[in-house]
Chains A and B, each alone.
Chain A
Amino acid sequence: MIALLRIPLAFFRLFYQSVYLALGQIWTNKTRSILTTIGIVIGVASVTAVIAALTGLKTKILTQVETFGTNTIFVYPSRPNTGPLRNASWWSIRFLPEHLDGLLENCPDVSRLSRMAHVGRHTIRAGEKSVENVNVTGIEHSYHEIEHRPILTGRTFSVIDDEQVRQVCLIDPKLRDKLRLDRDCIGQVIRIGHQAFSVVGVIEQRPEMRFGEGGEEYYEVFIPFKTAFKLQEPWIGAYAASKDAAVLEEAQAEIKFFLRRIRNIKVGEPDTFRVESLKSALETFNQIALVVTMVAGGIVGISLLVGGVGIMNIMLVSVSERTREIGLRKAVGAKKSAILTQFLIESVVLCFIGGLVGVGFGQLLTMAIANIPKVELDLAYIPLWAIAISFGFAGSVGIFFGMFPAIKAARLDPIEALRHE
């Protein structure tokens, strides 16, 4: 029993003693240790900051996906990257309202569709008050279900509103308050440009954290799809919803197929439109994040390499400075393994301290990043696994680059070492 206990005890003894000695040694050579670990500090700080930024972005996107639904699909015209149409005018590839007719019938996995007529930003007036840069969009009835934005008071657009091209509108509560309209503002009149619209309902405010537009005030006015054509030639797209999240990709494929046929795109030619979902946006983001992580990882790898060479250099200096000490320790009974452990642990402890300071600096960097306005990084934080990875890397650098000096120390002949000047 005692014999069994002896091995872990001996290991603990050696470990404790080595860490104790290493800390003493590092404390004795403070300046040198600080300079040596700078490489590790920079490496670890940058890797944690990059991971923190990416994690923050991802959290933001995930929140977005949750608020906007996992089955929402966005359809909009887009120039292909290749083929003769890559320089096509936006006008030539635009959607016409009839392009989307029959889509619901031909796409079994699509449950809802709302054509969207984007007419850009306009100045809205109500009496003396005016608000600039308000987003005006023509929508259809299904929009509320697709985007999960119900009417708070009043009503949605009816078929008659659309068919008769009535000048009616929905506004969001913030705009209502900004324009000093009544709380129950149904029937009040606002002006979009020079045209008068009567308010028929108040639509739920859209969620705060929307990806792509950080911080600035954002107001919305919705009008019936066909009414939008009265204001100006609109930019047409569509919002759709798949039957459920599981068939999202099938629904996207069906829409693609349908639109290619309607728009007469021949086999082999690229799409002149995009069918995106937040899920595919998330996948795109994940790909970009991977590339960024790899590039950052490469840079960090180089800085850790440089840091490691610094560590190795300083450990070699340390071994040669302490040759007599090594000789003495060997003379009084230190085995090779004990000397090896001592120097190896010294370099690992040095790297760990670098890692610790690095994570600290990384945290400061992350806080700095999170406070840059309009960069969408306000949710940046360092996940626990990143800290674990940082320490793992720092430790590996310590072992890898400390090994050679440690072996050199362990192999010293005690007689030679004690004679060393």
Chain B
Amino acid sequence: MTQKNNRLIIQLKDVMRIYKVGIERIHALDGVSLDIWENEYVAIMGPSGSGKSTMMNVLGCLDRPTAGSYMLDEQDITTMSDAALARVRNERIGFVFQSFELLGRLSALKNVEIPLIYSRDGWWSRRKRAKQVLERVGLSDRVKHKPNQLSGGEKQRVAVARALICNPSILLADEPTGNLDSKTSDGILELFDQLHREGQTIIIVTHEESVACHAKRIIHMKDGRIHSDLPREQDPVINSVINNEARQEK
């Protein structure tokens, strides 16, 4: 499981996230410990209410743990100010959302540039870097197009380009194929595979086995805890799906 030759990127220790709803206390995360190493490709799975969204928010530094500690790139996230967290999100995390979250009035290029607007050093080279990263996701001919002139798959590629522009430590994708048909989904997942081969650390949050089976490590969540954490080859759920598909093909 441990990959000694790679850097430790994420280290969660006994992380709790407790919401108060009225007098009730909801343990969205109930003591989660997790290590993720550089260039891992992880899928976090679980039914709704299992805590995977909260997990994604905490990993993405959008939310702070109520208790426990979270080290990202050897930095303690738990005690950071809002402004420092914003900077961490800007420099170390690339988000890909289910509904793309592109700004309709901006061109693909301008959309990709957005994170660099808030970056200290990237601002001056934003145009050049946005073009490079659009080329990397295979959209160099769609630079000037606005989101409504792009197909769903192209939109998600723009979103991936936007996530990559700051060279993040982790690419965090929340149901990245949830709004796409199966064929375009395959395209996006191939893009993720390619990024993984290029050395990108990727975490996908999904409930679809067909998406999760691209990852190398599968984490199942249940009731705010990690239910299982195994390499893909050993994961029973994924294996049964793959076996089913193989049987159908016969």
User: Which of A's residues lie within 8 Å of B, judged by CB?
Assistant: 6, 10, 13, 17, 24-25, 28, 324-325, 327-338, 414-415, 418
Contacts and interface: CB of A to CB of B under 8 A. Distances in A.
Interface of A is mostly: helix
Nearest to B89: A333
A17 B115 CA distance: 12
A24 B105 CA distance: 8
A336 B114 contact: no
Given A330-B62, A336-B86, A415-B62, 5 more contacts: A330-B86, A332-B115, A333-B86, A334-B86, A338-B118
B123 A13 contact: yes
Interface string B87-98: 101110001010
Contact of B89 (A24, A332, A336): A332
A332 B83 contact: no
A304 to B, nearest CB: 30
A333 B83 contact: no
28 contacts: A6-B120, A13-B117, A24-B106, A25-B105, A325-B103, A327-B101, A328-B97, A329-B114, A329-B118, A330-B62, A330-B89, A331-B60, A331-B62, A331-B101, A332-B90, A332-B95, A333-B86, A333-B90, A333-B118, A333-B166, A334-B86, A335-B82, A335-B118, A336-B86, A337-B83, A414-B62, A415-B62, A418-B101
B62 A332 contact: no
Contacts of B105: 24-25, 28
A414 to B, nearest CB: 5
Given A10-B120, A324-B101, A418-B97, A332 B114 contact: yes
A290 B205 CA distance: 69
B86 A335 contact: yes
A418 B162 CA distance: 16
B63 interface: yes
A177 B87 CA distance: 87
Interface of B: 57, 60, 62-63, 82-83, 86-87, 89-91, 95, 97, 101, 103, 105-106, 114-115, 117-120, 123, 162, 166
Contacts of B114: 328-329, 332
B62 A328 contact: no
A415 B62 CA distance: 7
A17 B62 contact: no
A240 to B, nearest CB: 74
B117 A17 contact: yes
Contacts of B62: 330-331, 414-415
Contacts of B115: 332-333
A415 B174 CA distance: 13
A338 B118 CA distance: 8
Contact of B119 (A327, A331, A333): A333
Contacts of A333: 86-87, 89-91, 115, 118-119, 166
Nearest to A336: B82
A324 B118 CA distance: 17
Nearest to B82: A336
A331 B89 contact: yes
Given A13-B123, A17-B117, A329-B114, A335 B83 contact: yes
A20 B101 CA distance: 20
Contacts of B120: 6, 10
Contacts of A24: 105-106
Contacts of B86: 330, 333-336
Nearest to B120: A10
A16 B39 CA distance: 37
Contacts of A331: 60, 62, 89, 95, 101
A336 B83 contact: yes
Contacts of B162: 332
Which one of A25, A329, A331, A414 has the highest number of Cβ atoms from chain B below 10 Å of its Cβ?
Answer: A331
Contacts of A325: 103
A120 B119 CA distance: 83
Contacts of B87: 333, 335
B121 to A, nearest CB: 10
A324 B102 CA distance: 10
Contacts of A338: 118
A332 B57 contact: no
B179 to A, nearest CB: 14
A28 B104 CA distance: 11
Which one of A17, A24, A329, A336 has the highest number of Cβ atoms from chain B below 10 Å of its Cβ?
Answer: A329
B63 A328 contact: no
A324 B98 CA distance: 13
A28 B106 CA distance: 11
The 3 nearest A-B residue pairs measured at CB: A333-B90, A332-B115, A333-B118
Nearest to B162: A332
A311 to B, nearest CB: 21
Contacts of B166: 333
B178 to A, nearest CB: 14
B56 to A, nearest CB: 10
A329 to B, nearest CB: 7
A332 B82 contact: no
Which one of B60, B114, B166 has the highest number of Cβ atoms from chain A below 10 Å of its Cβ?
Answer: B114
A6 to B, nearest CB: 8
A2 to B, nearest CB: 11
Contacts of A10: 120
Contacts of A17: 117
Nearest to A333: B90
